[in-house]
Structure 1
Amino acid sequence: MPRTRLILLALVVVTLGATLPGCGEAGRVMDRSDLVNELASQLDGSGELTYTADYQLPGGRTATIAQARSPLRAAYVYPDGKLTITDEATTDCRRSGSTMTCTLTAAPTPNNVPAVAAFQDAGQHGLISPTVAISLLTAAALDTDATIEQSGTTIAGRPATCVAVRGVRDARASAFDACITTEGVLGSFSGVVDGSQIEIAMTRYREEADPALFAFPPGAKIVDKRPA
């Protein structure tokens, strides 16, 4: 799979309160395999995009995801931290008290699925990566007792397909709502994943990557753990 696709599947990022706009509308139950294939294809195709997406989190907090193809890079900014992935390094910045520490490790080689490991504790940041969303949908599709309803809506001016999933057994999330835009960007998600409540909703989308998102936070302490 091209690395430009896989870097998107690294992460991300989004509140709707208890329900998602549009996803609460009467939906239709659709074939599980068709649904998973459709959403996976959208997410896969969005790996070719350059974009910046802003998200609303509970409590007035915000998050941002940015991706660019030339040079290849991605940034995931959340309250009190950020993760950036470039050809030079994977940089994980986290705040402890009044100190922001950015730890640099070697860039993935090849540059693939870098945020899967970096965001193992994504729920603590209020984020969910597209790869996790796909795994949840796949678990639902394999559970014959689960229900999956599809509906449509518009998020931040972008048309989106929404799914309401309920009754998944032995999975990281037994029930959740998710919307994916026609570009394949995760527009919203609401549910409890691995015991952490995640609610995110995209508020703004633009077809460019803000260079400032890839810079170190002002005054950050830099810890370089890359091989010499």
Structure 2
Amino acid sequence: MPAASTTFRALALSVIASLTVTGCQAVHDAGQAIGRADLVNDLAARLDRALELTYSADYQLPAGRAASIVQAQGPARSAYTWPGGKLTVTAEATAQCETDRAKAVCTLLAPPAPNAKPSVALFTEAKRRGLVTPPVVVGLLTEAALDAEAVITQSDTTLAGHHATCVGVRRSAGDFSACVTNEGALGSFAGELDGTSVELALTRWSDEVDGASFELPPGAGVVDHRATSS
């Protein structure tokens, strides 16, 4: 995904700085304790590293539905698909596609500036349809780490054959759990976002991608707003 990896590093450092002032609170796992800042920094760093990788990840959603995240480098580009929609981000355009109709329709917007991440607003529809993106998870973890009343537990698991570190968060703003693989892919998520229950789990991860993943759906109608959105 065309994103500045320093964004996540700065985010993690900001959290650490804040926790240095307020004091570390422990996260317990089988009798061991680690600091909140250490946990957030580790997971944010994994997600950060993944922004520089080429990979494809498939996810299972409730009711047998599916979603995916695909990204590649040189040039940087990414694609997100979910039931009824697709978002592609390339150097040429940001394309928001609606695919739950007889003929898919894609709206082209100006691509992000070089080394800049896409607007979080672009992922609103994906989140509503059940695809939680890594930036959303980083934001939730950061909020939890800064919440003195939040209870954060850590565990480990294996998803699609890949080891993952998981956190369970209990807080007044809403409970959630999330897992991040060693490679930095989002392994799973379960919780409530914007009043909607969301759950997904990684079913396949590969360091190879299909170039067709970044293309618009075949036969899609195109509405080009790049000139007005730049």
Q: Give TM-score scaled by structure 2 length.
A: 0.83
8 A contact 1:123–1:196 mirrored in 2: no
From 65, 70, 73, give the equivalent of 1:69. 73
Letter in 1 for 2:198: I
Aligned partner of 2:93 among 89, 108, 112: 89
Higher helix share: 2
Secondary structure in 1 matching 2:183: coil
Write out aligned runs for 1:97-116 (5 A).
97-114=101-118, 116=120
Q: Provide closer, same or farther for how the CA distance between residues 141 and 225 of structure 1 changes in structure 2, counting only shifts above 3 A.
A: same
Q: Distance in 1 between matches of 2:201 and 2:30?
A: 20
Q: How far apart are the structure 2 equivalents of 1:3 and 1:194?
A: 25
Aligned Cα root-mean-square deviation (Å): 2.3
Q: How does 1:37-56 map onto structure 2 within 5 Å?
A: 37-56=41-60
How far 1:30 sits from its partner (Å)? Answer: 3.5
1:128 and 2:132 matched: yes
Contact 2:61/2:201 (8 A) holds in 1: yes
Residue ranges of structure 2 left out of the alignment (5+ in a row) = 9-28
Amino acid at match of 1:205: W
Structure 2 counterpart of 1:21: none
Could you tell me whether the CA contact under 8 Å between 2:60 and 2:67 is conserved in 1?
yes
State how far apart, in whole Å, the 2-side matches of 1:7 and 1:75 are: 20
What's the TM-score, normalizing by structure 1? 0.83
May I ask how many residue pairs the two structures share in their alignment?
207
Which residue of 1 is the match for residue 15 of structure 2?
none
Q: Flag the 1:123–1:29 CA change in 2: closer, same or farther, 3 A.
A: farther
Instruction: Give the structure 1 partner of residue 144 of structure 2.
Output: 140
Please give the per-residue CA displacement for 1:8-63, whole angstroms capped at 9, x wherever unaligned.
Answer: 9xxxxxxxxxxxxxxxx968654211111111111111111100001100111111
Q: Residue 11 of structure 1 corresponds to which residue in structure 2?
A: none
1:155 aligns with 2:166: no
Partner SS state of residue 34, structure 1: helix
Q: Decide whether the 8 Å contact of 2:82 with 2:126 is kept in 1.
A: no
> In the aligned structure 1, how far is the partner of 2:139 from the partner of 2:31?
22
| 1:227 corresponds to | 227
Q: Give distance in 1, aligned partners of 2:141 and 2:187.
A: 15
Q: Contact 1:75–1:213 (CA<8 Å) still a contact in 2?
A: yes
